[in-house]
Structure 1
Amino acid sequence: MSTSDDSRESNGREGSGKRLSLPAVMRQASEQLADLVQCEVGAVSAIKANENGWSADVEVLELERVPDTMSVMASYHVELDSEGSLVAYERVRRYARGQIDRR
């Protein structure tokens, strides 16, 4: 295994053109978004492979409040390329942590 192969695997990337694993993409989306928006990631609520890589919805804690149910959360839609690098993100919703969607 070459040095470039070692670095790809240590970053959660798989060699020889294989698609990243779902857990690796979840980690990549969480870590990169947290770094960009400087907020704690709560969860990856959706993830889907597409022709250009991956898309995911990531929930983050934007403003911590007491009680916890009043904390402000946000949902971000992110796009990652086939190697797991974040290429776009957009905040699509803000809500109180205790809020439940009515669907």
Structure 2
Amino acid sequence: MGGRADRTSHGRAEPSPGGLSMPTQKKPSAQKATTARKSPSGSRKSASSGAGTSKKSASSEAGTRRKAAAPSSEAPRRASASRVAELAAQQLLALTGKEPEGVAGLERTDDGWAVMVEVVELRRIPNTTDVLATYEVEVDSGGDLLGYRRVQRYVRGNVGDESR
């Protein structure tokens, strides 16, 4: 045991006092150095040289950031119907804290979309007595919230008039 070196994930070992080999640990000061690099466009960018970061990934991330930050002279973005429904449900959850049960309706409007989202307003046991509500969520064509309102509230187990 004393003469054999234990290997670390880096494939090297350092002898410790007493002849036993101990795995080396990463030195944070050398791993977290910040350097200034030139990007392909000639501007200087600050990049961290932490573990696992390569020049290739740093430059590809910078390229991604440039594309996202570039001003858009194109037509306004339009999200698909399924994406709009998903965004509407997520935004309603964020505002109300009520878990979406599903999307009951989706309709294109002049300003974007009207999405009918069912949520659980009150959980009960048994779950057939849960109180549900239907919210109309208005979003623009890109999926950004314009407004919402509750249009119906009902008990899950009650079969009633579903004209709405």
Q: What is the TM-score of this pair, normalised by structure 2?
A: 0.53
> Moved runs in structure 1, 4+ residues, more than 2 A?
15-19
Rounded to whole Å, the distance in 2 between the matches of 1:63 and 1:56 is 21
How far off is 1:97 after superposition? Answer: 1.0
Aligned to 2:146: 87
Distance 2:161 2:140 in 1: 33
Q: TM-score, normalised by structure 1?
A: 0.82
Would you say the 8 A contact 2:77–2:142 is kept in 1? no
In 2, the alpha carbon distance for the partners of 1:28 and 1:19 equals 13
What's the CA shift for 1:47? 0.4
Query: What is the distance in 2 between the residues matched to 1:80 and 1:47?
Result: 11
- Bigger Rg, which one: 2
**2:126 is aligned with 1:61:** no
| RCO comparison, higher one (Cα < 8 Å, 6+) | 1
Deviation at 1:3, TM superposition (A): 1.8
Please state which structure has a larger fraction of its residues in strand: 1
Name the amino acid aligned to 2:90.
E
Query: What code does the residue aligned with 1:44 have?
Result: V
**What residue in structure 2 maps to residue 37 of structure 1?**
96
Match of 1:8 in 2: none
The alignment yields a C-alpha RMSD, in angstroms, of 1.8
Identical aligned residues as a percent? 37
